Chain A
């Protein structure tokens, strides 16, 4: 088969927020290419809604150290505190940089970047909610994605759109390149490079109810895992409390930031019982669990597994008055702050949130775990933090770890730009003195074999059925609450589905051009891999921490489990778990109360 060879100093895999930020920085210094399986503006960064946090203090006193404390507490003390300090200290600078790139933030009356409240973000170590989330209506991610893409065009960044990266080439224990399929032609391309940065996003499509794009199939994580790179803390996957009932479409926490409240089937504002101080603005794991518990108690709406999110002006004003706040909202204010949310509800539910409450349920949203990295986005391959030369990762696919066991809202957009920028800088520095590592013979051979295997698969099992079964079983047993027997059941099911995937798959399309049949099957393989790692890591962790809630081990156990999981793929395909310590600086783990 004809394989095209390209040579770039730096290759970036993924065209979302972190990939584009890295590209802007790397391309100033070295020859850089961005490979994306989608057109970059289709990336899932664009679906982020509510905001990006930075302690600008534009509306009230704030400082980055409070932001760092909130992030560590939100992480249930699993985040590496040195990394969190980097994230929150650089937040202010990076948000200003985005504004200088033209990002159209909403403005305060005096023309500064406007800020709103968000879950888990507080003043003075938990005293009360603080306005820290910088926003552009409820489409902040869209604005970030487009602004970065625009700047890439301005700076003539080289893009290879609709190129699916399927393998990493390692030679002499260093990065030598990546292998990609060009979707339009089906041709294979080898990108010979000194450094590769993976910015491939998350894998929420493992679960049945998810806010994530169809394209969110964890490709980069799976590719690296198969090449021996560990995956860190995969048992921690965030369920966002408020997805549209049955569809999973995200309803931003910004709704609650603007004053919206969660109401159960009995008409009670139930979060007051679970988080007496900041109520509906508690961390996402806390709120998602509260919704599950309410539903389990029979307090869902009309006996169904959902609750209401109510942002009708009269409701918001009633609770603002009860809290002694002077602020009041009206219809026009809600329309201007949450236009897309109103639109989603009108289109998909046929209801107007200004007049009726929204039916919501927790939705699989964000992977806290991923490819382990240093704060320079260098990928580390063991519990001693040994760096793999030339390999970088940033954004949701990576695990620095700044989110630990539970991410705070708005910190994902921040993570993208802070560590995308650091990754771009670091890889440029690395590339300048480095030489190309020679490519091994037939570098694309494994991908060729894999694809041929898919193209000729003539079994009876369809991808759509395998995927649905995986999503059901992961939702039921490795979701918001877990226990050993259920997780075990999930692992058995995944093994059976992996066998179907390898031996009984049916593929209709034998062609080369835009063969989504084969691509779907390949992505399905990535999802199964990550589902298995998630379940195996979750079974081993016998405690409850952040997004990982074990019914059979309901307490956090700092003595035995204040440590990061590292999952490795053994040569026989089985998973080996190792652990490494959490970096603590100034925050002693404490009980987490909101």
Chain B
């Protein structure tokens, strides 16, 4: 059994269009278990080769294809059509992430997002001479920061955050998740530096605990909780 699905896509080509517009494409024979990404490929392949969107792995691990699908941030490769279209006919609305400048169609400028990411020292720091073999870390210490290690930098959380929409200089949830991953790693030695960065005006205090980020995360990271743990660490002046 197949379905008839109309894709309503926010289009904008800076070389042709003065402003963005909605375009609709009707796919007559969609497999209900197709991904929204498969449908975008169909539109690009059959209707208009100029439709621009990023994608790579197509199974939710590379983070390329975050976009707004029916008004919420999702990875296009992780949404099956039958989970959002019921019956044998329906419409799916797709638009670029909010809060980042649109370059073309569904492609946004990711640089502001990565600039925020880089600002929190998102890398392991330990200048003590390493042992000959691995550093020792107990399973409990390892579990302490497991959740944020799942982050794929897709930007779904940050671009769902009203505080980020209101003020793009806010580092945003994704950057805080990345910082958390190192702040709570027993082997790392730069927690204080990261807490100092995140205690500034554009750090964690811009978070208003709206929970959009947690809902948006395609990796099911408890983003709001992660942010709260960083807030607590700043209040205490240390990680644990």
Contact = CB atoms under 8 A, between A and B. Distances in A.
Contact of B134 (A113, A150, A215, A348): A113
A488 B118 CA distance: 52
A149 B123 CA distance: 9
A297 interface: no
Interface string A485-523: 000000000000000000000111101111111001000
A377 to B, nearest CB: 25
Given A463-B45, A511-B16, A348 B139 contact: no
A472 to B, nearest CB: 15
A106 B138 CA distance: 9
Given A46-B62, A107-B138, A464-B46, A147 B124 contact: yes
A214 interface: yes
Nearest to B148: A104
Given A41-B153, A47-B59, A347-B78, A462 B46 contact: yes
Interface in B81-136: 103-105, 107, 110, 114, 118, 121-126, 130, 132-136
Contact of A154 (B49, B104, B123): B123
B213 to A, nearest CB: 19
A58 to B, nearest CB: 9
A143 B114 CA distance: 18
A540 interface: no
Interface string B215-230: 0000010000000000
A517 B49 contact: yes
Nearest to A249: B59
A62 to B, nearest CB: 14
A111 B59 contact: no
Contact of B50 (A39, A43, A517): A517
B63 interface: yes
B56 A150 contact: no
A96 B134 CA distance: 5
B51 to A, nearest CB: 8
A346 B187 CA distance: 34
B142 A106 contact: yes
A146 B61 CA distance: 12
A192 interface: no
Contacts of B139: 106-109, 111
Contacts of A307: none
Nearest to A185: B103
Contacts of B105: 514
Contacts of A215: 56
A150 B62 contact: no
Given A112-B134, A347-B78, A214 B123 contact: no
- Which of A96, A109, A214 has the most B CB atoms < 10 Å from its CB? A214
Q: Interface SS of chain B: helix, strand, loop or mixed?
A: loop
B134 A142 contact: no
B64 interface: yes
A150 B126 CA distance: 14
Given A139-B150, A462-B46, A517-B49, A344 B130 contact: no
A511 B50 CA distance: 8
B118 A142 contact: no
Interface residues of A, number: 62
Contacts of A507: 49
Interface in B31-82: 33, 41-42, 44-46, 48-64, 78, 80
A511 B44 contact: no
Contacts of B45: 462-465
A435 to B, nearest CB: 34
B14 interface: yes
B182 A44 contact: no
Given A139-B61, A463-B45, A39 B110 contact: yes
A38 B123 CA distance: 21
B182 A143 contact: no
B62 A517 contact: no
Nearest to A210: B58
Contacts of B220: 343
Interface string A95-139: 110011110111111111100000000000000000000001001
Interface string B11-35: 0011110000000000000000100
Nearest to A142: B61
B61 A347 contact: no
Contacts of B132: 96
Nearest to B153: A41
A107 B137 contact: yes
A44 B52 contact: no
The CB with the most chain B CB atoms within 10 A, among A42, A44, A184, is that of A42
Contact of B56 (A38, A344, A506): A38
A268 to B, nearest CB: 28
B152 interface: yes
B57 A47 contact: yes
Interface in B171-212: 181-182, 185, 187-188
Contacts of B49: 462-463, 506-509, 516-517, 520
Contacts of B165: none
A258 interface: no
A348 B64 contact: no
Nearest to B124: A102
A315 interface: no
A153 B61 contact: no
A340 interface: yes
Contacts of B145: 104
Given A508-B48, A511-B15, A514-B103, A42 B64 contact: yes
Given A96-B134, A464-B41, A511 B123 contact: no
Contacts of A96: 132-134
Contact of A100 (B56, B123, B130, B149): B130
Most chain B CB atoms below 10 A, which of A46, A107, A465: A107
A447 interface: no
Contact of A42 (B62, B114, B187): B62
Contacts of B63: 41-42
A105 B59 contact: no
B127 to A, nearest CB: 11
A275 interface: no
A213 interface: yes
Interface in A285-327: none
Contacts of B58: 213-214
Contacts of A143: 149
A47 B61 contact: yes
A38 B64 contact: yes
B9 to A, nearest CB: 14
B128 to A, nearest CB: 10
A109 B123 CA distance: 26
A151 interface: yes
Contact of A214 (B42, B56, B187): B56
Interface in A62-117: 95-96, 99-102, 104-113
Interface centre among A56, A99, A112 (most CB of B within 10 A): A99
Given A39-B110, A107-B139, A508-B49, 9 more contacts: A38-B62, A42-B56, A47-B61, A100-B130, A102-B188, A108-B139, A110-B136, A249-B59, A464-B44
Interface of A: 38-39, 41-44, 46-47, 56, 95-96, 99-102, 104-113, 136, 139, 142-143, 146-147, 150-151, 153-154, 184, 213-215, 247, 249, 340, 343-344, 347-348, 462-465, 506-509, 511-517, 520
Q: Closest 5 A-B residue pairs measured CB to CB?
A: A102-B124, A464-B45, A508-B49, A517-B49, A509-B50
